[in-house]
């Protein structure tokens, strides 16, 4: 068994292998199959609002996001798991998470979730990531984990 690239692809050989039962297909690999690069993409996306952190979290906002992105249950909710975006950051959930963190006082009160969203998207109008975040609510277990992380950082 060997992997065939597009340049080596031979239709006749493929048909022969299929007839003989020698054809094995591997599942499609994700476009972005490296979790560390996905984590970095998410971190880069939210880094634009680090300066909006409240005084209590200003010094530990990077540690907070590192903790979020290294907690499997939280990281898992921040990426898509099917379709053409499989493995890519889910901006709907990221926006919902940022809104939750703003409610918890991580980001200054003068910055509304919409204002934070506009900064992350580098735009002056809301887009589907903001309007669609209501469909991607945070579950109670995720909220509990986030509150636990927040309490550990403030101590």
Each residue's pLDDT, cut to its tens digit, for the chain (155 residues) gives 556 565 666 777 767 877 777 766 555 444 444 678 899 999 999 999 999 999 999 999 999 999 999 999 999 999 988 777 788 898 889 999 999 999 999 999 999 988 998 899 888 777 776 666 667 678 899 999 999 999 998 76
Assess if residue 138 is contained within a domain.
yes
* Number of domain units in the chain: 1
Among 49, 31, 120, 38, residue whose Cα is nearest residue 75? 38
Among 153, 127, 89, 33, residue whose Cα is nearest residue 97? 89
Q: Give the separation between CA 68 and CA 65, rounded to whole angstroms.
A: 5
Q: What is the pTM of this model?
A: 0.73
Assess if residue 146 is contained within a domain.
yes
Assess if residue 14 is contained within a domain.
no
- Domain range for 63 is 35-154
Assess if residue 72 is contained within a domain.
yes
Assess if residue 149 is contained within a domain.
yes
């Amino acid at each position: 068994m060997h992997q065939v690239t597009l340049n080596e692809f031979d239709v006749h050989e493929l048909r022969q292998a299929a007839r003989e039962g020698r054809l094995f297909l591997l599942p499609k690999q994700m476009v972005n199959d490296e979790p560390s690069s996905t984590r970095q993409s998410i971190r880069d996306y939210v880094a634009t609002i680090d300066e909006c952190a409240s005084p209590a979290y200003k010094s530990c906002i990077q540690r907070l996001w590192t903790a979020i992105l290294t907690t499997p249950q939280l990281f898992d909710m921040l990426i898509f798991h099917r379709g053409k975006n499989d493995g890519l950051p889910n901006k709907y959930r990221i926006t919902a998470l940022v809104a939750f963190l703003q409610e918890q006082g991580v980001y200054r009160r003068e910055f509304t979730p919409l204002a934070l969203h506009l900064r992350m998207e580098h735009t002056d109008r809301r887009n589907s990531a903001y309007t669609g975040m209501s469909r991607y609510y945070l579950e109670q277990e995720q909220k509990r984990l986030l509150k636990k992380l927040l309490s550990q950082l403030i101590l």
